[in-house]
Amino acid sequence: MRRFIAKRLLLAIVTLFGVTLIVFVAARLTGDPALLIAPSDASEEQIQAIRVKLGLDKPIPVQYAIFIRDAFRGEFGESLRYGQPAMNLALKRFPATLELAAWAFALGLLFGVPLGIVSATRPGSIRERAGTIFARLGLAVPGFWLAVILMLVFSVKLGWFPTSGREHLSSRVLPVIAIAWVSLAQIMRVTRSSMLEVLGSDFVKMARIKGLKERVVVWKHALRNALIPVLGMAGFMFGMLVGGAALVESVFRWPGIGALLIDAVFARDFPLVQAGVILVSAAVILVNLLVDVLYGVIDPRIRLG
């Protein structure tokens, strides 16, 4: 088990280094950051001063080494737009995004797992067909498009929910539904596929031969094994929910890190973009690491593999 955890931890560290490299390179592929940040009427001296401030006057390898050093210290410089430490701004906004992602994942589990079970245990029924259609719609309809529709109908036209903000509990309803839409469909699809596989296994057939009720077979014996793949996709789902929250946050003006990053991109606030992307990536990597370890504890075959 220790060897398994050590391998996963090493993989997480390598992945995090890869993220820092991608962020570093992407910031420079857009052109000279100093030229993008500087006003259109800036003089060459002003542009050079920006380069010196951002450390862009040094060789690329030196810049990356400094970037890595500062990243592990949590130092990404000051936001060009807000004049505050970039990581502090990202950390202040991140809990709001985590809140939406957690509610969305819980909603996906609450409805996705039962729908997947019903779809698997009653093939050909109206419920199974309705569930299949719903899953396909969930995978086809973008979350931000659904967010716009929900706002127009339930906030603007009917006035049932606020259009923006985080002050009231009702402010969470529409953003959570918009974000949970895709996760619900994914969880339902994986649960259905896993349940069908488990229901065809030998130990389930043996349970039925022993005369156990179908409800006991499904909910006590089959479900426990069918949920293992759902747990395995939890890390991926977390990353997808956090990433998908960005546009939804912008629609509802939810004060999360997604909306902050979009504003930072348009404002060409490179320190804030780098801090936000690395913070989100580190959180996703950490969640995936925890899920991998938990997955290995539940299913020893993963450790042996």
pLDDT at 297 > cutoff 80: no
**Which residues, 6+ apart, have CB-to-CB distance to 255 below 8 Å?**
93, 96, 165, 166, 249
Going along the chain from its start, the domains and CATH numbers come out as 2-73 (no CATH), 89-304 (1.10.3720.10)
Closest CA to 242 of 276, 271, 270: 276
Q: Which residues pair with 85 in a beta bridge?
A: 78
Quote the DSSP letter at residue 299: -
pLDDT tens figures, 4-62 = 778 878 888 888 888 888 888 887 776 666 776 677 777 778 778 877 777 777 888 88
The Cα–Cα gap between 75 and 133 comes to 48
Q: What are the pLDDT digits (tens) for 67-126?
A: 888 888 878 878 877 888 888 998 998 888 888 888 888 888 888 888 888 887 777 777
Q: For 88, which DSSP code?
A: H
What's CA 64's distance to the chain center, in Å? 27
Higher per-residue confidence, 225 vs 152: 152
Estimate to the nearest angstrom the gap between the alpha carbon of 178 and the chain centroid. 14
- Residue 300 pLDDT exceeds 70: no
Mean pLDDT of 285-302: 74
More confident residue, 236 or 9: 9
> Which tens digits make up the pLDDT trace of 175-200?
888 888 878 888 888 888 888 888 77
**pTM for the full predicted model:** 0.77
What pLDDT does 301 receive? 60
Q: Amino acid identity, residue 55?
A: G
Per-residue pLDDT, averaged over 136-149, amounts to 79
Tell me the per-residue pLDDT of 247-289, one tens digit each, with 9 for 90 and over. 788 888 888 888 888 888 887 788 888 888 888 888 888 888 8
